[in-house]
Amino acid sequence: MFYLGIVLLKLHALPLVLLPRAFFLRLGFACGELIRFAGFRVPIARANLELAFPEKSVEWREALLRKSYQELGVLWLELLRLFYRFDRFVERNCQVEGAEHLAAARAKGMGVLVLTSHLGNWEVLAASGPNLVNTPVTMVTKRLKPEWLNRVFEITRSLLGVKMAFEPRTMPAILRALKQNEAVGFVMDQYAGAPVGARVPFFGKAVGSHTALAALALRTGAPVIPAFAARQRGGHYLIRFEPALILEEKGEPDERLIANTALFVRHIEAWIREYPAQWLWIHRRWKGDLSPLPPDSPGVLLK
């Protein structure tokens, strides 16, 4: 099944390589409309938009819902495009902003922790490391199912120069990458419960968010660089590396963990507000206890 999967994915990717970018985008928008009309996770996306933007009108949210599915269609085609010379796609369709921030962080020789999210195209961001800014990358991720698909993605990413650290046993690969002064990418916008989550504000709601990046940054001292790849008008990508974050290092261990997790989540929220249609609204981000936090509390650990 593994070899058949590779052949089929490459056969699907090859025609996409030949399409002009403008036609590729129109085809992606059409695919997104089909996904929306099929009802794929539409109730979840609609509920998420209401939680995030309660002050907006129903008409505004419905327009954003439709646009987000169009962008989802483009993302789907680009993920298929991943399986045929994706390095060329990245080289031809990406503009890098803030590479000096990444270089300054690496100059410290402690490796770099990259904070990112499911906005735009995270595969573009990962591939930009070895292919555009001369930085080896390890992605912290979950194994895909079925196993043959996971193997296909792992090999495809490795050909782009991107290595994997699979949850839950990620620490050896992460520490090895940091020791070699490489970049380690964390996608930080998914729900996380106990014992690895903390309830911190996200679009005004206290929701479980992963504390692993904060814990690792405080433990290793490696700088944290926020970064994302967002699709621009015309279909090219802006890859933005931001200055290293100044972490909260005062207080008790739990207080520092919560404060820095909240800091990371605020950054992600700002990106989503800047590019609202390009985030994955279909994910069940708001789960569990959504009650207000105690007054003046930055968050609480989930135990």
What does the alpha-carbon distance between residue 58 and residue 49 come to, in Å, rounded to a whole number? 10
What ranges in the chain are assigned the alpha helix state H?
2-18, 21-37, 42-52, 58-81, 86-93, 99-106, 122-132, 147-159, 171-179, 212-220, 253-274
How many residues in the chain?
303
- pLDDT at residue 13, as a whole number: 79
Q: How many domains, the chain?
A: 1
Q: What are phi and psi of 113, to 5 degrees?
A: -100, 120
What does the alpha-carbon distance between residue 263 and residue 64 come to, in Å, rounded to a whole number? 26
What ranges in 42-85 are assigned the alpha helix state H?
42-52, 58-81
Q: Which two tokens stand for residue 78?
A: 């680009």
CB 172 within 8 A of CB 195: no
CA neighbor of 283 nearest in space, from 58, 119, 143, 116: 119
CB 165 within 8 A of CB 141: yes
Which band of pLDDT confidence, cut at 50, 70 and 90, is reported for residue 7? low
- pLDDT at residue 146, as a whole number: 85
Query: Residues 27-40: what's their mean pLDDT?
Result: 97
pLDDT top residue among 78 and 295? 78
**167 DSSP 8-state letter:** S
pLDDT top residue among 130 and 85? 130
pLDDT in tens, 89-117: 999 999 999 999 999 999 999 999 999 99
Range of the domain at 127: 2-301
Q: Is the pLDDT of residue 283 over 70?
A: yes
pLDDT in tens, 225-235: 999 999 999 89
- pLDDT at residue 1, as a whole number: 65
Name residue, tokens 């573009």: 124
What does the alpha-carbon distance between residue 122 and residue 128 come to, in Å, rounded to a whole number? 10
What does the alpha-carbon distance between residue 219 and residue 225 come to, in Å, rounded to a whole number? 16
